[in-house]
Amino acid sequence: MMWKGRFSQDMSDVVCRFTQSLDLDWRMVQDDIRGSIAHVRMLGQVGLLTAQESAEIESALIQIAKDAEDGSFVPKESLEDVHMNVEALLIERTGDVGAKLHMGRSRNDQSNTTVRLALRREILKIWDDMKPMLETLLLKAMQHAETTVPGYTHMQQAQVITMGHFWMAHFQAFIRDARLLLNAYESSDESPLGSGALAGSTLPIDRAMTARDLGFSRICENSMDAVAQRDHIIAFHYFASLFGVHASRISEDLIIYFTSEFGWISLPDAFCTGSSMMPQKKNPDVLEIIRGKSGRLTGGLMDALSMVKGTPLTFNRDFQEDKRSLWSSCDTIQSMLEVMTPLYAEVEVNEEAAVRSFLDGFIYATDIAEYLVKRGVPFRKSHEIVGRAVRWCMENNRALNSLSTEEWGKFSPMVDDDLAPLLTPAKSVSRRNTAGGASPVQVRLQVENGKKRLAEIDEEFNMYKGRFPSLTFATPRV
């Protein structure tokens, strides 16, 4: 026990089991060791360790990292966490020299540094998985730039769109998520190391040096804030929760369009399952599980917010639990992306079936109203005219786009022979050429703009990758 000087009793076994966090932080063992290496290099640089002591500790830490990687270093639950296990083994192997490692730091700033290192690494991995998904959506949008399908509001057919416009709608949501992921990285890109328990240190440490060594862009400027805040974790959960919402939403769309009642998309067999009882079934289980997992991601945000809002400055042991939902969200997102990208790539659209779904012509009602507007009819008046025509068609079992010019004369004298040619799926969607609209021209512009936005975000992530410290430890310097 590292604090045995103050206590007259050993920790009870039940408390030891309750307070240990190895199930949460052992996955960060390499990050913890890398943080300690930066710290010991700094201690040698500022003269708190001799060059020989610094090199000896770094050499021992590198060997511990290798032992952890090959499994020969087995942590002890009695030592609570990854930090204490690494330090105890270091002291066991180097004696009093290793006992000097912890000067100028606390587990408060050490653990926060370790989490930030690990979280930044996880974020970079998530981006590597997310980028292909975004590229797939752009590719699908280009493939379906002219594929006409119904668009919906209130789950009722509304207007003709293209499937390319649909894919780009979801791309826009996910590219915003990518920016939030980048924001989460930037929020994590501050070094708390050297902040100590809460007030810094009386020793002449160099926090800027350790920050540079660990690839941080800057240091946390206030030592109390450095150990107390978890904004970087909350920023990641905010990304994760919105990503989950957006992944669930596209899943819901595809599930609906895949049903027999809609039936104008097909899903790849490899991403569906059958029924144990009903031979005809093809169930969209992967999409349903994605939809289900999103709840865990939104729950992680609530978990983190609730934890932080009830704690006074500075460090509280509650924060040990901040990693439980964090790692769950990281792992959940990576598992989702693993299936999302190849699934989207193989979604097929049956345009003929989609067009059959709006043979009643009511989907062109707004087109007709705007046609009348162009002829000088006030919109509210044109809305009423077309509404009466829709009601008449419903009562007489007629398609709205089947009315002749003479029949339209019953509702408005402003309709001419040029209306009928406009009431086709291709004509309807091509005329929606306002910025951001559903026309093929606009969809292709969105794709090009999407490629640029994606490239810009990727460039920023690549910049951070270039700064990220290697966790592949070199041969000991001693």
Strands 190-191 and 218-219: parallel
Contact status, residue 442 vs residue 436, Cβ threshold 8 Å: yes
294 is catalytic: no
Distance CA 264, CA 161 (A): 14
Distance CA 440, CA 123 (A): 35
Out of 12, 72, 154, 470, which one is annotated catalytic? Answer: 154
| Phi, psi torsion values for 420, nearest 5 degrees | -55, -45
In the chain, the amino acid numbered 69 is: E
Q: Is 287 helix (H, G, I), strand (E, B) or coil?
A: helix
Q: Please tell me the number of Cα atoms within 13 Å of 55 on its side-chain side.
A: 7
Q: What CA–CA distances, in Å, run from 276 to 205, 259, 288, 301?
A: 66, 19, 17, 37
371: left (phi over 0), alpha (psi -120 to 50) or beta: alpha
Tell me how far the alpha carbon of residue 10 is from its chain's centroid: 43
**Residues pairing with 348 in the sheet:** 266
Out of 275, 306, 402, 404, which one is annotated catalytic? Answer: 275
Distance CA 72, CA 169 (A): 50
154 is catalytic: yes
Contact status, residue 107 vs residue 78, Cβ threshold 8 Å: no
Supply the residues annotated as catalytic: 154, 275
